[in-house]
Amino acid sequence: MITSNSRPLHHALCTLLLGIAALWAMPRSARAQLYVSQVFNNGVGKYNATTGTAINANFITGLNSPKGLALSGNHLLVTNFLTNTIGEYNAATGAAINASFITGSAFPVGLALSGNHLFVANAESGTIGEYNAITGAAINATFVTGLSQPQGLALSGNNLFVATNNSGGTVGEYNATTGAWINANLITGLDGPIGLALSGNNLFVANFFSNTVGEYNATTGATINANFITGLNGPIGLALSGNHLFVTNQFSGTVGEYDATTGAVVNANFITGLSDPCALAIAPSL
């Protein structure tokens, strides 16, 4: 009896092992990772961007009011609002590469990358600084000046979009090579704009005070849907992964997930239990 059953059992076991190997060899794009900065616990957590489950809720600790995130390859850049620094960390392990990668900022908030160029929004000085994303060296610390509390940044080709809290709230557009303004009032009449995200020619804006995300034409500034997403709770950070738009809610300590085409709710409580979530960044599996 043992001999007669051993071959079917061996065959079943081989089939199971081959199936496991096939699953392991599958593309891992579905395991994209979502980084979330949390101001109150001075850290960055890492989560599965498909399921929302924590990979490491304490991925980076010991920060000082982290409000901005940006990914440069395997390097995660983080602003420290209260120490006026930008730190550089290993995006796979969370280990510090250079905790003082850039110093001398003025309440840094938003970050944006274009190749080797890192742009930093300084809320206090009303400036956008430009730095070498490899070395941290200043290219032009006053690349754009005369802003009013610049917050979120987004890039589309050679166009740099900046959310500012002047005159109720605007999004301005600047040349990412020269810093010259293209249209300082591309979008006006917003309500505490902070986070920005681009999907093709569609620009999404998180309006903190109206608890909404609006959608606008990135070329003309025309409104597509000022109430693309409503019913949020202190929205700050935005990030896109395919057709999924993620939004941090400061007051409810959550990250919500929405359809980036329709604004429909996918999961309003995609991640919960956060401590003043602020910025988001998405990377493929590392």
- One-character DSSP codes across 51-101: T--EEEEEEE-S-SSEEEEEEETTEEEEEETTTTEEEEEETTT--EEEEEE
**Model confidence at 286, in pLDDT bands (50, 70, 90)?**
low
Closest CA to 154 of 116, 91, 111, 185: 111
The DSSP bridge pattern shows strands 181-187 and 170-175 to be antiparallel
Per residue in 134-178, pLDDT (tens digit) is 999 999 999 999 999 999 999 999 999 999 987 679 999 999 999
CATH architecture of 29-283: 7 Propeller (2.130)
Closest CA to 236 of 261, 262, 205: 205
**Model confidence at 284, in pLDDT bands (50, 70, 90)?**
confident
- Position 66 pLDDT exceeds 90: yes
Q: 30 φ, ψ to 5°? A: -70, -10
- Position 59 pLDDT exceeds 70: yes
- Position 53 pLDDT exceeds 70: yes
> pTM higher than 0.85, yes or no?
yes
101 close to 63: Cβ distance less than 8 angstroms? no
- Position 260 pLDDT exceeds 60: yes
- Position 13 pLDDT exceeds 80: no
The predicted pLDDT at position 285 comes to 63
- Position 10 pLDDT exceeds 90: no
- The set of residues, in sequence order, having a beta carbon less than 8 Å from that of 140 and lying 6+ positions away, is 129, 130, 179
- The set of residues, in sequence order, having a beta carbon less than 8 Å from that of 174 and lying 6+ positions away, is 128, 144, 159, 160, 161, 162, 180, 181, 182, 184
Per residue in 191-249, pLDDT (tens digit) is 999 999 999 999 999 999 999 999 999 999 999 999 999 999 999 999 999 999 999 99
Q: What is the mean pLDDT of the chain?
A: 90
**DSSP per-residue string spanning the chain:** -HHHHHHHHHHHHHHHHHHHHHHHHS--GGG-EEEEEETTTTEEEEEETTT--EEEEEEE-S-SSEEEEEEETTEEEEEETTTTEEEEEETTT--EEEEEEE---SSEEEEEEETTEEEEEETTTTEEEEEETTT--EEEEEEE-S-SSEEEEEEETTEEEEEE-STT-EEEEEETTT--EEEEEEE-S-SSEEEEEEETTEEEEEETTTTEEEEEETTT--EEEEEEE-S-SSEEEEEEETTEEEEEETTTTEEEEEETTT--EEEEEEE-S-SSEEEEEEE---
Q: In which element (H, E) is residue 22 found?
A: helix 2-25
The predicted pLDDT at position 165 comes to 84
d(CA 271, CA 54): 8
Per residue in 17-47, pLDDT (tens digit) is 333 333 333 343 446 999 999 999 999 999 9
- Position 94 pLDDT exceeds 50: yes
The predicted pLDDT at position 168 comes to 72
- Position 1 pLDDT exceeds 80: no
**Model confidence at 50, in pLDDT bands (50, 70, 90)?**
very high
Segments making up each domain of the chain, as ranges: 29-283
What percent of the chain clears pLDDT 70, i.e. is strictly above it? 88
What percent of the chain clears pLDDT 90, i.e. is strictly above it? 87
- Over range 44-68, report the average pLDDT: 98
d(CA 26, CA 107): 43
